[in-house]
Amino acid sequence: MAEKDLIYQVDGQVATVTINRAAARNAITPEAVVLFHSALDQAQADDGVRVVCITGAGDKAFCSGADLGGGMQDDADRRSHFDSYARLISRLAEFPKPTVARVNGHCLAGGTGFMLACDIVIARASAQFGTPEVNVGLFPMMIGALIFRNVPRKKAMEMILLGERLTAAQALEMGLVTRVAPEEDFDAEVGMVLAALAAKSPIGLKLGKAAFAAAERMPLAEAVRFLGGQLVEVAGTRDAREGITAFLEKRPPRFKGE
């Protein structure tokens, strides 16, 4: 599938979703949000896809947030778009396959939601980060739910209330991103992580991600008991048996997602 505002491509076991508006700093339009949902539908349904990479076109911006001039003229339009965006980042945060944000450039405002919804975030060293909504009289509402799940509260509030930009090094220190790579190593670092994820057991990762998402909403004792039961489920898969056999035989496992 290739559309004006979004591109979905599959290369081997990796699906890449690219926000394709480089000239507009990859600002997200309502149409792109709809296409994003469609891309995730395809990635989830395709058993050959084991990992999903989210990125932006060009090398200037990952995503600069919502397109403020993108046709949201009244409250009904804004509510529809924001509801669709909220569903999208919630879905991405609990996606059954591992997700990687390839932050190729500046990541601002609503782009922070896409980034933090991914399991792993790899940023180019020159990228900048921030939530500048307060500078135009807005506030980073929906993405706040993700920010506070990833960043200590005081640092989060400083970023949100001041609306200042952060360097990639500051973002790494805060926990907004998981890795920072220099320009010359960026694509190799992303490729290495994607390949490593694609080599894992699909069913093991799916069950594990779902279990962790559910356990986050439980009290500690309940979560531990629940996760113990989920470990029994994972251990009963064919992939787990293959993984243990391969370990004992000192060979790479051949996972089939069963």
Catalytic residues: 133
End-to-end CA distance of the chain: 28
**Geometric angle at alpha carbon 122, from 3 and 218, rounded to 5°:** 95
**DSSP structure class, residue 164:** -
Distances 79 to 16, 131, 168 between C-alpha atoms, Å: 28, 20, 32
Pairing state of beta strands 99-103 and 61-63? unpaired
Tokens of 227: 């996760």
Residue 64 CA to residue 22 CA, distance in Å, equals 10
Q: Are 22 and 5 in contact (CB under 8 A)?
A: no
